[in-house]
Chains A and B, each alone.
Chain A
Amino acid sequence: MKRVKTGVRGLDEMLNGGFLSRTANLFEGAPGTGKTTLGMQFIYNGIVHYNEPGIILTFEEFPQQYYRDAMTFNWDLSRLEKQNKLRIVMTSPEISRLDLQMVKGRISRMIAEIGAQRMLVDSLSYFERITPDPVELRQTIYNFVNSLKGMGLTLFLTRESPALLGETPGLKEDWAFAVDSYSLLRYVEINSIVHKAILILKLRGSDHAKDIRQFEITPNGVQVRSKFKGQAGIMSGAPRPKPEDAFMEAFGTQRMKG
């Protein structure tokens, strides 16, 4: 099965080689955890390293914001747009979902014009404005995601979670149903230092890493590092040493000495 590499160091390894082609991949996290950066990196790497043009569909940030943020990593999105390898499309969830249902919708035409194979949708949370009815929302997202997959795109979807630290109240299983992979980005406080953690909850049709790993936003973009060692309850946001490690830390040396 064809893999679509993110080009993000450590992440492709967690994904067993990358996303599966023509799938929807959701990344959920609190503001500032790096969802959009990771998504931009997926698009940028796709164009520059794998010759796969991409589209950024934004419901919130203006294109200028993406150009500016990307330039901090030396990713010149404006140049890629001029080369017709990228489009940053600002719109609303309502317009985009209706446009995709049309025979010659504006977004579909743009996808065809540049031969887009990847798309970042930033962020899916805005669909919650369309309807308060969870059944209708689920159906709407399901249709939206499937219409994009049907156009041959591999999707990187972001979703904002309200909790800065710790578990998100009411993790939406509905969203997991609509997507092929579901990953969580979290802040984790260890010894008064805030780290960032990534966990792949599911990857339909493929094996994937089950451990929780640290990641950093470096001058070259996101880099996924090793897993957290000696900590339990990472996703609670405030992990504690594993019981055996805590025991060893408290008594181990003395007992050994004794």
Chain B
Amino acid sequence: MAEWEFEVKRFLIDKVNTKLKWDIVRFFHHNPYLIDTLENIALYVGWQQASVQGALDELAQNGILEIQDVAGLKAYTLSTSDQTLALIGQLTKNLQGERSIEDVIRSIRQGETE
């Protein structure tokens, strides 16, 4: 596993800490101007709506996504914060070639407790 900066590690462990959240973040990273509803995002990432809803809202609470009220419809967009976008970029780079995000998280956590 590549050397991880502390901030990127914390970003992963604290905010993008499940496979579903990572799938969503990665999807937005490749579609930075996406603006869409829960139903469509669930279709795009290929997960059940019920699970995606919780993940989207948590990502929004953590400032990774933004919730837009589009004339009464709830839509999600990627954060416009440069700092957040830089962290997502670095995370994407670090996770390139990794098969399992759970393994990466476990490995980071183990490293922290040792």
Interface of A toward B, CB cutoff 8 Å: 62-64, 87-92, 94-96, 98-99, 101-102, 105-107, 110
Contact = CB atoms under 8 A, between A and B. Distances in A.
B72 to A, nearest CB: 8
Contacts of A106: 35, 68, 70, 77
B73 interface: yes
B70 A90 contact: no
A89 B37 contact: no
Contacts of B93: none
A90 B31 contact: yes
Closest 8 CB pairs of A and B: A98-B71, A89-B33, A90-B34, A98-B70, A91-B35, A99-B70, A106-B35, A90-B31
Specify which of A88, A94, A107 lies most central, judged by the most chain B CB atoms within 10 Å of its CB.
A94
Contacts, number: 51
Size bin of chain B's contact surface: 10 to 19
Given A105-B70, A106-B68, A106-B77, A95 B35 contact: yes
Interface in B59-103: 68, 70-73, 75, 77
A105 B75 CA distance: 12
A63 B72 CA distance: 27
B31 A95 contact: no
Contact of B40 (A64, A88, A89, A92): A92
A63 B78 CA distance: 15
A140 B93 CA distance: 42
Interface in B30-46: 30-31, 33-37, 40, 44
A89 B35 CA distance: 8
Contacts of A98: 70-73
A98 B75 CA distance: 11
A105 B71 CA distance: 10
B70 A102 contact: yes
B34 A89 contact: yes
A110 B33 contact: yes
Instruction: Indicate the member of A87, A89, A95, A99 with the most B CB atoms within 10 Å.
Output: A95
B70 A95 contact: yes
Contact of B36 (A63, A91, A105): A91
Contacts of A88: 33
Nearest to B43: A92
B69 to A, nearest CB: 9
B15 to A, nearest CB: 23
Scoring A63, A89, A91, A98 by chain B CB atoms within 10 A of each residue's CB, the highest score goes to A91
Contacts of A101: 71
B25 to A, nearest CB: 15
Interface string B17-34: 000000000000011011
